[in-house]
Each structure stands twice: as structure tokens, then as C-alpha cells.
Chains A and B, each alone.
Chain A
Amino acid sequence: MDNINDSFLKKLFNEMPNENTSDNFSYLVLNKINAPSSCISTALRKQLIFGYILLAIFVCFLIVYLLALLPIDNVFKISTLSTIVNYSVVYLIKFSNILHQFFLFYYKVSIVLLFQSIILSFYIIRKSFKTA
């Protein structure tokens, strides 16, 4: 394995010109450090958006779970809102119940999804802000 110290290649590589960065490179780096919020790179911005999407999924899961816990019959009695809003709430609860049944049926998948979305969203958002 000693032949990796190839003097011919080393000599050839040494003659290769170095690529140089632009003149204002240091200024741009310091600018990014001093004004991070305005200079988040595209990659970090994408990561942040992904984090927010996951957080939104988690919030949706939470709403569906909470709505599914409400008894439909009592909504009319306790609500003082208009009939249209009342019906909307009822149908939302019915929809939530269907989703809830789905989650109960595929409970392993839904639990994994739920925890994954919570952990990932918080991790990504925290990481993005830290790096930015």
C-alpha cells in the first residue's frame, strides 16, 4: 500500500493552480453571521419550510384527535353559534371520527406518524434557527 505516496502525482497536483474565492468572500461570511435572518441560504430555508409543514401535520392530527373526543349530540345544545356553523362543526366531528377510526385501525402507523411529525418538526425548526 506504500505506493499511494506517489511522488509523480504529488508533483503534478502541486502544479495545479488553486481556485480562488471572490474578493468580498470574508465580508459576505461576516454579513451572514451578523444578519442571519436575512441571509438564510436556500437549503436552510427549504429545511425550515419542511419543519413547518411537519408541525402543521402534527397540529392537524391533534385537532382531529380532539374533535373526535367531542360527542356530536351535545354540540347543538352547548353551541350558541348559527346553524351553518353548527352543521359545519358536526360534519367536521363526523369526518374526524372517520379519521379517528382509521387511526385506531391502523394505530401503529398513526402513532409512528404522529411522533415522527412532532419530533422531526421540532428538531428541524430548532436546527434551522440554530444554524441560521
Chain B
Amino acid sequence: MKHQDELYLLQQIKAGNNQPFTIIVNKYKDLVYNIIIKIVNNKYEAEEIAQDTFVKAYYSLNKFNGDSKFSTWLYRIAYNSAISANRKKKLIVSEIDDNIIKNFSIDEVQENISKANKELQLDILNNSINKLNPDEKTIVTLFYHQQESIEDIAHITALSVSNVKVKLHRIRKKLYYLMNNEINNKNI
């Protein structure tokens, strides 16, 4: 769907026509769901939050003035809903000392992962992502998986562009460190 078509659909919805909203939901449902599930880690809860995200977006559509992409605006609602749902839970997240993360070789980890088969590679990546905290999971997924720009990620997470860059740099190192641990556990 072209950007202009999407804007036309949004105008139709704002005018009170519900039907085009189905097209919008179908286009973004999986992307929204994928952001939320990374944060809440529960399929059923993620689906309910994703539905609520679209309901909130529908009722707040008049506040969307086109300053940013519609997807960025929608992801922000999804991110905020998921983070506030997560705030009530007590999550156990592994904190790693910055000095440990700094002093190990990424090239070595890349080389070791390359040796494993695809299934194992994805298993290592998934387990490592699950050990990141919700904020880190969102940023890394948006950047590497959904290939959002740093500016859009900054808008979604309400962080500054430089802060997102610093966080991404740190998360990348942390992710490699966690993958390295996974490799050692699996004896590759």
C-alpha cells in the first residue's frame, strides 16, 4: 500500500467510515504484535495489548497529524501499552557489568555462530534476546528486525537520537556477550 493510499484511508476513517480500518489492522497487526510480544513475553497478553493498541489508535486518530509516519505513531502506542503492562510485573533481568561487555571479541562470537546450523543460530539469538530487558529488546528488534531508522526508534521510545545510538551500541555488545554464553553452554 502506498503512503498516499494510506493517508486517504486514514482520512476516510477520521470521517467516520470504519471499514478501511480493517485494511490498516491487517497491514500492521503482525508488526505491532511482534513489538509487544518481545516486551511482555506472553502470547495471549500480547494479543490483547495489540488489540487494545488498535482500539486506542482508532479513538486517537484525530491526534495523528502526519508529522511522523503512521507506523511510527502506531508503534509508539504499542510500545507504551506494552511497557505499562510490563511495569506491573516483577521481571528478572540479568544485569551485566559494562567492563565485561567491553572486553571481549565480537569477531570470535560471529565466527562461532557461523559454524552452527540455521536452527541453532536462531535458537542462540532468541535465548539471548530473551535475556535483555524490555527496552533493549524493543530497540534491538526495531533496528535489526523491523529495520526502523534511528530517528523513528527515538520517536517511538521517546528517547533522543544520540541516546538511541548509545543504547544500540551497548545492546549490540551485550547481545554478543549473551550469545557467547549461549555458545559456551551449547559447546559449539
Contact = CB atoms under 8 A, between A and B. Distances in A.
Interface of A: 1, 3-4, 6, 8-10, 12-22, 25-26, 28-30, 32-34, 36, 41, 43-44, 130-131
Contact of B125 (A16, A33, A130): A16
Contacts of A34: 18
Contact of A16 (B30, B43, B122): B122
A32 B47 contact: no
Contact of A15 (B29, B54, B122, B165): B122
Interface string B15-38: 000100110011001100110010
- Most B C-beta atoms less than 10 A away, residue of A19, A21, A28: A21
Contacts of B54: 29
Given A13-B144, A25-B29, A32-B55, A19 B21 contact: no
> Interface majority SS on A: helix, strand, loop or mixed?
helix
Nearest to B168: A4
B15 to A, nearest CB: 15
B18 A33 contact: yes
Contact of B118 (A15, A26, A28, A131): A15
Contacts of A26: 22, 25-26, 29
B169 A4 contact: yes
Given A30-B22, A33-B21, A21 B50 contact: yes
Nearest to A42: B48
Contacts of A41: 48, 52
Interface in B116-141: 118, 121-122, 125-126, 141
Contacts of A44: 52
B143 A4 contact: yes
25 contacts: A1-B166, A3-B169, A3-B172, A4-B143, A4-B168, A4-B169, A6-B172, A12-B122, A12-B144, A13-B125, A13-B141, A15-B122, A16-B125, A19-B34, A21-B50, A26-B22, A26-B26, A29-B55, A30-B18, A30-B22, A33-B18, A41-B52, A44-B52, A130-B59, A131-B59
Interface of B: 18, 21-22, 25-26, 29-30, 33-34, 37, 43, 46-48, 50-52, 54-56, 58-59, 85, 110, 113, 118, 121-122, 125-126, 141, 143-145, 147, 165-166, 168-169, 172, 175
Looking at chain B's contact residues, is the secondary structure mostly helix, strand, loop, or mixed?
Answer: helix
B140 to A, nearest CB: 8
Contact of A10 (B48, B122, B144): B144
Contacts of A3: 169, 172
Contacts of A33: 18, 21, 55, 58
A25 B121 contact: no
B55 A16 contact: no
A9 B179 CA distance: 11
A22 B118 CA distance: 26
Contact of A13 (B25, B29, B145, B169): B145
